[in-house]
Structure 1
Amino acid sequence: MKKNYFRIVAGLGLVQLGLLSTAVRAQDTTRVLNNVVVTATRSPKKLSDIGRVVTVITSDQINRSQGKTLPQLLNTVPGLTFSGSENAPGISSSVYLRGASSGNTLILVDGFPVSNASGIDGTYDLNAFPIDQIDHIEILKGSGSTLYGSDAAAGVINIITKHAKGNGIKTSVQLVGGSYNTFNESVGVNGNINNTGIALNLSDADSKGFAGATDTTGSGNFRKDDFHQRAVSLNLSQKVSDKFSINGNLQTSYNKGHLPYGAFTDDKNYTYANTFLFGGLGAKLLVDKGALNFNVSQNTVWNHYNDLPNDANFQSYYHAGNIGRITNTEIVFNDNLGKYWDITSGADFRYNGTHQLSNYDTIQSVNNNIISAYTSLFFKSDIFHMELGGRYNHHSKYGDNFTYTINPSIFLAGQFKLFGTVASAFKAPSLYQLSSQYGNISLKPETTTSYEAGFDWTIINNTLTFNTVFYKRDTKDVIYFNSLPDPPYGKYENGSKENDKGYESELTLNLSNITASAYVAHVTGALTSANGTRSDILYRRPKNTFGASVNYKVIKTLSFGLNYKYTGDRVDQDFSTFPSTNATLKHYNLVDVHVQWQACKKMVLFGDLKNVFDEKYTDWLGYNTRGTNFMAGLKYQIN
């Protein structure tokens, strides 16, 4: 049973689903009220005009983070914990936004949802996304289900890939190497020729890694769990006329490597190989005062896992393969209705399908679909702004549900924004939860009601900002795994409820040669089981985090960066005992340093030293984390 469950978890696939959308630029700060963002409203709007919390990781910040993985970069965002980001390369990580459980943060690529149709809870593993293919990232905190549907209960992370920029074609190469025999190479071709735009990025990554599991025997002979990735991203755009354009997107990646048997346990022979293939086509038509967008995409992922017998653990041969498919079709309309009103309306159809086979259990070919229609009205008059939105969903298995958003805000003196939100959200049960050997076809969606209140204050225009937000989130019909004494030893059920609350504060500074920020975040939660038992434990999620970062431009061509994060005590489950017990993971501090030098007009040299003080800590019980490690490299613009 235990091994079976671990193999199922380890066998989760990844799904990539993305299309082109409007790429927006932001200043090199995380929160500035004159920044333009698209994720919160599905159309370009200034932060001062919307009452939502949106953090932007800019292209400059990403360029200074090429020695990091995407989870490591996201782990620096206030209120966001990327548990497992410092584990061995290739081991999955979990995103916890504002204390919500994994799977309640929706991941977008270029504005369109990606998830894992063959996974237990549909989560998307961002370890598979090369950071060198990303232009910038927008993070919407708080419910996003009205505009985006399922999984957006805690927020939305929108990864916006590199698109064509500038006239003429430019080519660049990047070479990076460092600890654990890690080497990354990438090539980018980008630009516009007349009315045609192209952005082609090829990435290659290899790492010998380190032992993924903790060696409690002290023998020191656990195998190094390696990681290998080949990835291609292609974005094409064609301006047909002044009012009509089309775009296409093709993404594929191949990942393989080794995994440990589980917590505290080595495995010399456990390998995986996963292939992801995505294709999308979109069209945009400008109308009198707005735009009509149509997009269709298809994503297929193949996952393969093999484990030959290992006498040290006496396990039998294991093999698993699964396929996940997602088709998404959507039409979105944005329009200015007059002096005071804007509208965003849309309809979408999403198909999910999977087939899974292993020598432990089999899921026959199963599928479901969800049809949705939504509208949000945006009102703006002098200092008062308001969003009112609703979404209707029809799911082929559980039926109908509805979500809403009420989001007023006041903008005073061009510097101070006061806002509040009451919104609902939902998370549909996954195909695995519905149809596996543990499945329950009668499952209902998890439903959430969230409340927010806060402010954004520009103390000095374009220089110093301060923001604080308080939030509360109540979730009912939480899907949980109910252990049973007889085969199949468990079943997914509705019945638990979760109540979370917390706050975040952030101060940012932007000068000509210094950018800096500091933040603090606090979250608490309580989970009440179906039988009424209450627990105040949010597994792997710290109550307290805080951090600071600074980037100093010494001279025009040389800059230094410093990043610090404190992660508080957490609780993890120890499955090495039966029944499982809880273990407290101690708090830890991480300090990273970055240096970047513009050696000449066409070449940039950079280096990252991470975990500078070699902090010893545990993110997941039974798994290793990275000690002091470095990455260094160069980027060269060929033409």
Structure 2
Amino acid sequence: MTKELLTLSALLAAMHAQAQDSTAKKALDEVVITATKYPKKTSETGKVISVITREQLDRSGGKDLAQLLNEQTGLSVNGANSNPGKDKSIFLRGAKSDYTLIMIDGAPVYDATGSSSNFDFRLLPVENIERIEILKGSQSTLYGSDAVAGVIHIITRQGDARKTIAPFASAAYGSYNTRRLNAGINGGSGFFSYNAGFTHYKTDGISESADKNNTGTFDKDGYEQNAFMANLGFKVNNAAKIMPFLRYAKYYGKLDADAFSDDKDYTYNMSNMQTGVRNELTLGKVKLHLNYNFTATKRNYLNDSLVKSSPFDGYSKGFYEGKEHFLDAYLHVPVLPTLSFTGGIDYRNGITDVKTSGVYKYEMGGVIYSGEYASTIGSDSATQNQTGVYGAFTYAAKGLNIEAGGRFNHHSVYGNNAVFNVNPSYLINRQFKIFANISTAYKVPTLYQMHSEYKNPFTGLQPEKAITYEAGVQYYSANNLVNVRGAIFRRDVKEGIAFYTDPNTFRSYFINQDKQNDWGFEIEPVFNIRDKGQLLLSYAFVDGEVTTRKGEKDTSYFNLIRRPKSIFNATANYHITKKLFISLGVQRFGKRSDLDFSAAPAAIVSLKAYTLLNAYVEYRFLNDKLRVFADAKNLTDTDYTEVYGYNAQGMNLQGGFRLSL
């Protein structure tokens, strides 16, 4: 890591550390939506929220969404720098991936076909995003199921009525024969606005699995994606906004058989459509929101086994289809000058249809076993409904801000549950903000857990339940040079859903059993370098253990598999001239544990810590309408592992342009 830090220090030494008022003011008074479901200054909420701005997104032409999120404080995305088409798992503050709620334009998005409910980040190109708000801590009061560790709210690009026609385009090419193309049009006039864009992404990739014995026979596992997005806006006499939308993405890729195991004919494809309408009505000082979102997902896997890497290769195929309906009606009411209320009712309906089959072969004790298998989850029974009623009061006066609220949820299978939150904060002289949070959350069982062959035949499943305690302080220097936020947290989960095998009957099914306790802290200093740039630093630490029943006893052990205990980030952004911008970043990921499934039971392996050095350079032409950029990742060609038995990308480079008229 010494070389990378010396390089970063040399860059910083060239910068003039003088303050600029506007930068710090923006940090203090930046308006966010996700904290309260209506526009709110960050200085007026005690929730821990971070923003990825449009400017940051514009400087991410060589990154995908997983890589961008992997750079944020307290976030790690496993697989972000592995083969581009490999699945991605997001860990917010060390929580498992399905404990983070992903939202797009105010609506939760799920994959109803999966064993967990996490969203596939490969479906959404960075080019379609306007901003991202990352809200940490349990947030089920306003957002319902899955918001155990927090919420990642992705806000897409909208139409701009200030221009009638404003076309835009971007293109990039780089390592692994990677091509990115994006084109669209934006604009509007008076009461009407629109934004539409198409993205194509294709790469030859690398071999997904690592060639442990250096045979040189592992092939590359390529990936291809096409995505379309359209947002419309209609404004009626400043009293109503009607905003229909359509998002469609489809991708195709190749897979390998397993860790250290190649496969020549294992392929997958997926399509995802999201459509609906968002409505906003203004009734005096009252804002009423009526939103509907429909999501349809299809996934297919096929392993023909036409080319066999071993005599035990079989044949398999899988078809997965899921549909989600989401409706949300809520209002924001200023009750008093110092008191406001936000409340509403939402409804979710999920349904899935799964068919898998194949032929298997394996060897045990010198004997080769073979057979056929098939599994079906029928859409006629694999469905669930949720109805939630929620409300929160916000008090703000003389620097004191308090939010308190609750939610009652009714589930069509397990019944009822409730959550609450209390969030006070105090801003002193517009320099110090102290805050605390106590909030509860829940995660409902997935359709797969409730309706597959592994459903609980005895008691059914209850929701996983969590409580989070959080406290911290944020400091804004009087000279507007420094902005520092520090936070500590503890998250306790009970009724965790575990996969259980009966030692007597050998039957396996899901049960509510585990207790998960996690704790950690984050510190985020930001130094403003005049109007030339910023130095952003962050350090995040997390530790935790699960308590589960083994036989007649409870056993506790560290279980944050593939999640580093510590992550350090340092990014220096600097405008050398008004047209030339450079950024240098260092990421240090601590040691992690992973599982080796080549033996039974699976053995725990240790993955070494690693450091990545990344750089970005951009030059602007034509009054900033044209940007030419180069994005270099892993400049030192560090050899590291994100997932045991799978490859990670070495030094790689992408270059391109972005044009906005």
Q: TM-score range by the shorter chain?
A: over 0.9
TM-score in terms of structure 2 length:
0.91
Distance in 1 (CA, whole Å) between partners of 2:217 and 2:330 is 55
Residue equivalent to 2:276: 280
1:471 equivalent in alignment to 2:489: yes
CA RMSD of aligned residues (A): 1.5
> How much does 1:210 deviate?
0.6
> How much does 1:272 deviate?
0.8
Summarize deviations over 1:239-285 as a string: whole Å, max 9, x none: 02211120101000110010111111111001111111111112111
Residue equivalent to 2:16: none
Asked if the contact 1:32/1:462 (under 8 Å) is kept, the reply is: no
Q: Which aligned pairs between 1:202-281 and structure 2 lie closer than 5 A?
A: 202-281=198-277
Distance in 1 (CA, whole Å) between partners of 2:132 and 2:278 is 21
Residue equivalent to 1:600: 622
Distance in 2 (CA, whole Å) between partners of 1:148 and 1:105 is 11
1:181 equivalent in alignment to 2:177: yes
CA gap of 1:497–1:522, structure 2 versus 1, over 3 A, is same
Q: Which aligned pairs between 1:107-506 and structure 2 lie closer than 5 A?
A: 107-165=102-160, 166-309=162-305, 310-313=307-310, 314-359=312-357, 360-365=374-379, 366-440=382-456, 442-460=460-478, 462-484=480-502, 489-506=507-524
Q: 1:613 aligns with which of 620, 626, 636?
A: 636
SS in 2 for 1:328: strand
Distance in 2 (CA, whole Å) between partners of 1:456 and 1:58 is 20
Distance in 1 (CA, whole Å) between partners of 2:94 and 2:248 is 32
Summarize deviations over 1:293-342 as a string: whole Å, max 9, x none: 10112111111111102422332221111101000111010111111101
Residue equivalent to 2:3: none
| 2:38 partner amino acid | S
Summarize deviations over 1:365-421 as a string: whole Å, max 9, x none: 110010000000000111211001100000001110000000111110012110001
SS in 2 for 1:48: helix
Summarize deviations over 1:526-574 as a string: whole Å, max 9, x none: 1000341110231111111111101110000001001111100010011
Q: 1:562 aligns with which of 570, 584, 595?
A: 584
Residue equivalent to 1:635: 658
Residue equivalent to 1:578: 600
| 1:324 partner amino acid | G
Distance in 2 (CA, whole Å) between partners of 1:494 and 1:291 is 40
Distance in 1 (CA, whole Å) between partners of 2:182 and 2:154 is 19
Asked if the contact 1:29/1:515 (under 8 Å) is kept, the reply is: no
| 2:408 partner amino acid | Y
> How much does 1:514 deviate?
1.4
Q: 2:60 aligns with which of 50, 61, 65?
A: 65
Distance in 1 (CA, whole Å) between partners of 2:478 and 2:609 is 35
> How much does 1:488 deviate?
7.4
SS in 2 for 1:533: strand
Q: Which runs of 5+ in 1 are unaligned?
A: 1-26
| 1:291 partner amino acid | K
How many pairs align? 612
Summarize deviations over 1:483-524 as a string: whole Å, max 9, x none: 346887521111110101110001012330111210111111
Distance in 2 (CA, whole Å) between partners of 1:256 and 1:274 is 7
| 1:430 partner amino acid | T
> In terms of Rg, which structure is larger?
2
SS in 2 for 1:584: strand
Distance in 1 (CA, whole Å) between partners of 2:191 and 2:450 is 47
Distance in 1 (CA, whole Å) between partners of 2:217 and 2:229 is 38
Distance in 2 (CA, whole Å) between partners of 1:450 and 1:87 is 32
| 1:519 partner amino acid | S
Distance in 2 (CA, whole Å) between partners of 1:481 and 1:315 is 26
CA gap of 1:29–1:538, structure 2 versus 1, over 3 A, is farther
Asked if the contact 2:136/2:150 (under 8 Å) is kept, the reply is: yes
CA gap of 1:137–1:388, structure 2 versus 1, over 3 A, is same
SS in 1 for 2:170: strand
SS in 2 for 1:530: strand
Distance in 1 (CA, whole Å) between partners of 2:231 and 2:571 is 33
SS in 2 for 1:357: strand
Residue equivalent to 1:12: none
> How much does 1:462 deviate?
4.8
SS in 2 for 1:146: helix
Distance in 2 (CA, whole Å) between partners of 1:69 and 1:40 is 25
Distance in 2 (CA, whole Å) between partners of 1:380 and 1:305 is 53
TM-score in terms of structure 1 length:
0.94
> How much does 1:191 deviate?
1.4
| 2:387 partner amino acid | I
| 1:458 partner amino acid | Y
Asked if the contact 2:176/2:206 (under 8 Å) is kept, the reply is: yes
Distance in 2 (CA, whole Å) between partners of 1:485 and 1:179 is 50
Residue equivalent to 1:7: none
CA gap of 1:404–1:281, structure 2 versus 1, over 3 A, is same
Asked if the contact 1:503/1:522 (under 8 Å) is kept, the reply is: yes
Distance in 1 (CA, whole Å) between partners of 2:64 and 2:538 is 22
Q: 1:41 aligns with which of 36, 40, 64?
A: 36
Distance in 2 (CA, whole Å) between partners of 1:189 and 1:478 is 46
Asked if the contact 1:411/1:417 (under 8 Å) is kept, the reply is: yes
> How much does 1:127 deviate?
2.0
Distance in 2 (CA, whole Å) between partners of 1:65 and 1:244 is 34
Q: 1:105 aligns with which of 100, 104, 111?
A: 100
Distance in 1 (CA, whole Å) between partners of 2:200 and 2:26 is 33
Asked if the contact 1:539/1:571 (under 8 Å) is kept, the reply is: yes
Summarize deviations over 1:53-88 as a string: whole Å, max 9, x none: 000011111111110111111111111111110110
Distance in 1 (CA, whole Å) between partners of 2:268 and 2:308 is 20
> How much does 1:424 deviate?
0.3
> How much does 1:169 deviate?
1.4
1:624 equivalent in alignment to 2:647: yes
Q: Which runs of 5+ in 2 are unaligned?
A: 1-21, 358-373
Distance in 2 (CA, whole Å) between partners of 1:194 and 1:116 is 38
